[in-house]
Each structure stands twice: as C-alpha cells, then as structure tokens.
Structure 1
C-alpha cells in the first residue's frame, strides 16, 4: 500500500509542471515575453529551458525515471521562480499578496520534490534510483 501511495504522490506532485510545461510549449513566444519582461538575458533560450524543466523533468518524475535527480533539478528551478517571478517582497498591495501565496505554494512543492529526492520514486517506477 505505501509503495502505491508513494507512486501516486510522485505523479500528483508533478501534474502542475507537466500541464504548465505543455501549455508553455504551445506558446513559447509568450514565455519568452514574460522572461524578457523580468529583464533576464536570452529570453528565447530561457523560455525553452523553462519548458524543458517543467515538461521534461515533470515527465521524468512522473514515470519514475531518474526521479531523484529530476526532483532536485525541478526543486532548484522552482526556487528560482520564487526569486525571479514571485518576489512579493518587492511588491505592494494585491500583487504582493497574490505572489506571496504563489511563493508559499512553490515552497510546499519544493518540499514534496525534496521528499521524492530523498525517498526515491518507489516500486512502481521505470527505475528505482
């Protein structure tokens, strides 16, 4: 039972990333514009890196293929989004409140990803590394 729950949890944690990454894949120009809007260099390169992180790493974790490494990388990516995109400490009013919620949500997701990195993907995975 616990192995099945671990595998289900592993999949549920990354649903958000897979769906978001697929949406970004359908509109990479929009992602590049959002990246450029934050003043980051090479917005098109970073847009495709974002898509690869969300969709690629999310799918690896869901499948249980190199899940520990993918979880660490996706946790680092998610931490970076807090600093760059949800930096509520530089905002005021409703924007600050909305982005604080997003940042806290991301912190919770980072915790779940680190649990995957520590516990591994479980028995129901393409590999159990």
Structure 2
C-alpha cells in the first residue's frame, strides 16, 4: 500500500498496483480525494520532494504538501495565455509547475483557458483544467 499523509493525518491508502508514478498518484488524489490538481501538490519521501516521473512500485509512506499559487509578475501572467494560444503544451506545463494560477490574466487581460479553447488546443485545455495533457 501507498500511504499518503498530510500534516500527520491519513489522506489515502492506495494499492501499489493502482499507481505507477507520482503523477498518477497526484491525479488519483485530485480525482478521488478532492485535492487540488497536481500542480499544487508536492509528494515527499523522507523529506525529499519527488518528481512527477518518479516510479512508485513498492509499499511506502509518503507525505503530501499543498502549495499556494505563486506570485507572478504581470508579464509572467501574460506569458501563460500566450503559450496557451500557441498550443505550447511544454511551456504551459512549465508555467503551471510554479504553480501559476491558470485563471490569472496579464497584459492582454485574457485567461489561458479562454484562448486555448478558442484556438482549439484540446491538450492545453485538459492541462489547464485537469493538470494533465
């Protein structure tokens, strides 16, 4: 079992077979336990933050920390809708890892989700809504 605790309290116990990596654990916690999307979750093992690509293939105890959205400059807030407008998934993913609020607006006063939707960038829309391309 993967046992996840936050502030000393049990959040979830999940059979190892159901989870392959940290990213899938974060998605599970969002979907089934009502936690924020993966960009605001940090999973720790023995006090060390695990990358989303880290494999989880053995029973272990993990800690979970939820982080607030980062304070970003007006230019950074503009960069997110700009990348979403172009359909640049990798750039949007990087900005969301801050974690940057996907609803923030910058110089153009348009939200990333709005421009990605208008341009038909379905994978970017999924990333902004669900934390996954």
**Interval containing the TM-score (normalised by the shorter chain):** under 0.3
**TM-score of the two chains, using structure 2 as the length reference:** 0.26
Instruction: Return the structure number with greater helix share.
Output: 1
Higher normalized strand content (fraction of residues): 2
The structure, 1 or 2, with the larger RCO (C-alpha pairs under 8 Å, 6+ apart) is: 1
**TM-score, normalised on structure 1?**
0.27
